[in-house]
Amino acid sequence: MNEAPHTSSNRVLVVDTDAGQVEKYVACLGEDFEPANATDTLTDLEKVLLGEESDVEHNPRFEVHSRNQGDTAIDAVRHALERNQPFAAVFLELDLPPGIGGLETAQQIRALDPHVNIVIVSGSPDAHPEHLGKKIPPADKVFFFRKPFHGVECRQLAAALCGKWHADRALRLANEDLERRVEERTAALQKIAYFDVVTRLPNQLLLIEELKNLINTGEEEEGDTVVVLLDIDRFSFINETMGYDAGTELLRSVANRLSRTFAEDSGGERAIVGRAGADEFAVVVPGVASDIEIRDLAEMVKQAVEEPFLINGRDLFLKAAVGVSWHPVHGRDAKSVFRCAEAALHRSIRSIDHAITYYHSEMRYRARHKFDLEAELRGAIDTGQIVAHYQPQQSTATGDLAGVEALARWIRPDGSVVAPADFIPLSEEMGISDVLFESIMRTVCRDVAMWRSQGGWEIPVSVNLSAHQLRNSNLVSLIKGILGSTDIDRRLINLELTETVVLEDLTIAQPMLNDLASYGVGIHIDDFGTGYSSLSYLAQLPVQTLKIDRTFIAQLSDPDATTKVVEAIIALGKAMGLEVVAEGVESAQQYAAVRRLGCDLVQGYFVARPMPASQLREWCGGYEDTQSLKRGPTVVDIENARS
């Protein structure tokens, strides 16, 4: 209710068929009324009604209106309300012949105005005021006044009731103002809870609520409700290089472009665009009729973001990963459909070209499998289930055992094996790859120390380093501490890094690797040829060995395959004084080819599979007596036989 304050007068309606009685009301409520005496009893009545600190004037002003019939009194109340000038009190004669009676009049007045104070006036000894509160509720706004009455009594009662009416009105206005403030605050909090503060788009909470509403209302409609999630590739890099403000502007630009794209689309009025995460956006579209339309929708989202953005005067070209799911195929409820879209998005993020990925049931299995592995992995490290297996490397010139690579293997208590491709990337996602590396490094150093104690071990062992380890500022001290505690020759430990890992941040990698190399640890570049293959970084780092990636070696099995890439890598290594290793050699033909091209070492199933530490020692004993692998002439014979 929007009420204006009334302070000038107290509006009173008198309803009585007796004109003389009406004049009596007017006289006692008039400004010139001066009672001969005012009793303490009436003052006490005012205190009872209004409290000890009554603010009602002892000589208030009244605006008196009168009617002599019930129906005209009802009209007067209605018109007063329409003009926003309601009555504070109605003095109503109980007996109102002809027409409707006083009780019915009071009930209709109450229906029109729930706040007016109604005083039922009667001189009849048969009147029963004790039931008025039930017949004309509420009980605190209906009173009984018996005739004949004294003018002072009437004026004092009118003053008290008008004061009560003003107090009630002020309280109502205060409550209404409080309710308005609460509603405004609630709306503000709802906006904070459900809308992204940067882009002003719906956040993930609201997106799921909207998706739930679309699912609930769209069960009978044709078509699917599609969720397209989009992730901006390398957004953190943009923040780091161009600054937080540029990143914020980019997010707003992406939000605006997506909103415009789907506002302009023919079905855009039904599409919902939101920000689902730090650098993730979502588009939810109901009523998509076919698989072709789903693909078109996903392409539209990806294309919208991969068009260049002008940020701080520079054109930014983004790459976006996109995951898609839809109801009811991928779930009957909103959260399930959204989770499926997230699973598809994560698959797209992991793909090399960030291709659009449409959810399928295998992703749910893999997600569950990954979740179970996460819960198991940390315990596996602590209980020693992750061990080092060793794969020998053979010299192509002499056939001697020239090196060993340590490879992490997860062997469960039941004997089942978890593939490294599953748990090593997972350890990085969980932030425990440093713990895993330390565990493997300590195991390798203990094994090397054991082999040396058994006599005659001078073969270097390589341990793989990832990008996560290079970001660890304590890496150098950790490696030195482990080597010092096991007291082994530092030259027997090599560290292998891919060129991609090295070049992610050469400024960090270079001083670390220089420090380790000066300490005596060997530095090898793994999977060479798949990354930048830059001469400049090789010249800056203390590299001793290049390992040719297995994908190039696999091609050597084809008689028509070119050997130029392998030749070029070997030539590069020789020119820089580096040792070159061919990994992934699985056949005599591949072995003969890399030996002919001048590769120094060979590693692969053709030489030996990875094996536990105890088995390696036994293998080495048998290897010394196996002339078919050790001696060069036998290898040449194999080459001639295959040519």
Instruction: Report pLDDT for 631.
Output: 39
The predicted model gives 608-618 an average pLDDT of 91
Strand (E) positions, 249-367? 272-275, 280-288, 309-311, 314-316, 320-327, 357-358
What pLDDT, on the 0 to 100 scale, is given for residue 253? 94
Q: How far is CA 508 from the centre of its chain?
A: 32
**For residue range 513-530, what is the model confidence (pLDDT) as tens digits?**
999 999 999 999 998 876
**Strongest mean pLDDT among 551-560, 581-590, 619-628:** 581-590
Residue 494 has pLDDT above 60, yes or no: yes
pLDDT tier at 264, thresholds 50, 70, 90: low
What is the model's pLDDT at position 486? Answer: 86
The pLDDT value recorded for residue 58 is 53
Higher-confidence residue: 606 or 125? 606
Say what the pLDDT of residue 543 is.
93
Pair 545, 578: CB distance under 8 Å: yes
Share of the chain above pLDDT 90, in %: 51
User: pLDDT tens-digit profile of 391-425?
Assistant: 999 999 999 999 999 999 999 999 998 888 888 88
370-638: CATH, from 3.40.50.10800, 3.40.630.30, 3.20.20.450, 3.40.30.10: 3.20.20.450
Q: What is the pLDDT of residues 544-555, one digit of tens each?
A: 999 998 989 998
By the 8 A CB rule, do 545 and 602 touch?
no
CA atoms within 13 A on the CB side of 246: 17
Using an 8 Å Cβ cutoff, are 508 and 477 in contact? no
Least confident of 45-49, 72-76, 177-181, 433-437: 45-49
- At residue 47 the predicted structure's pLDDT band, cuts being 50, 70 and 90, is low
Report whether pLDDT(222) > 70.
yes
What confidence score (pLDDT) does residue 401 get? 92
> Residue 35 pLDDT more than 80?
no
- Mean pLDDT of all residues in 468-495: 90
Percent pLDDT > 70 in the chain is: 86
Average the pLDDT over each of 310-314, 462-466, 468-472 and give the range with the smallest value: 468-472
Query: How large is the average pLDDT for residues 243-270?
Result: 82
* Per-residue pLDDT at 57: 47
Query: Tokens 């596996």 belong to which residue?
Result: 380
Domain ranges of the chain: 10-173, 204-359, 370-638
pLDDT of residue 488: 87
DSSP string over 123-174: --TT--GGGHHHHSS-GGGEEEEESS--HHHHHHHHHHHHHHHHHHHHHHHH
Q: What is the CATH number of domain 10-173?
A: 3.40.50.2300
Residue 632 pLDDT exceeds 50: no
As a whole number, mean pLDDT of residues 421-448 equals 89
Q: Which of 27-41, 84-98, 350-364, 519-533 has the lowest mean pLDDT?
A: 27-41
Give exposure, 235-256, as e/b (b: 16+ Cβ within 10 Å).
beebbeebeeebbebbbebbbe
Q: Up-side HSE of residue 549: CA atoms within 13 Å toward CB?
A: 14
pLDDT tens per residue across span 78-91: 999 999 999 999 99
pLDDT of amino acid 466: 86
- Give the model confidence (pLDDT) of 109-119 as tens digits: 999 999 999 99
139 or 97: which leads in pLDDT: 139
- What does the mean pLDDT of the chain come to? 85
Domain 204-359 CATH class label: alpha beta
Residue 342 contacts residue 323 (beta carbons within 8 Å): yes
pLDDT of residue 245 exceeding 50: yes
